[in-house]
Amino acid sequence: MQNYQLILTEHLNHYGYLFGGNLLKWVDESAYICARLEHPGKSFVTVGMDEVSYKKRVELGSILLFNVEKEKTGNTSVTYRVIVSVASSLEDDCAEIFSTMVTFVCIDKNGNKCPIN
Q: Averaged over 68-73, what is the pLDDT? A: 98
Topology of the domain comprising 2-107: Thiol Ester Dehydrase; Chain A (3.10.129)
User: Which helix (H) or strand (E) is 80 found in, with range?
Assistant: strand 77-87
The structure's pTM equals 0.92
Query: Is residue 46 scored above 80 in pLDDT?
Result: yes
Q: Residue 102 in contact with residue 31, Cβ under 8 Å?
A: yes
Number of residues assigned to the chain: 117
Alpha carbon distances (Å) from 31 to 17, 24, 110, 112: 23, 11, 23, 21
Give the mean model confidence (pLDDT) for residues 44-69: 96
Is 68 a residue whose pLDDT tops 70?
yes
- pLDDT at residue number 92: 66
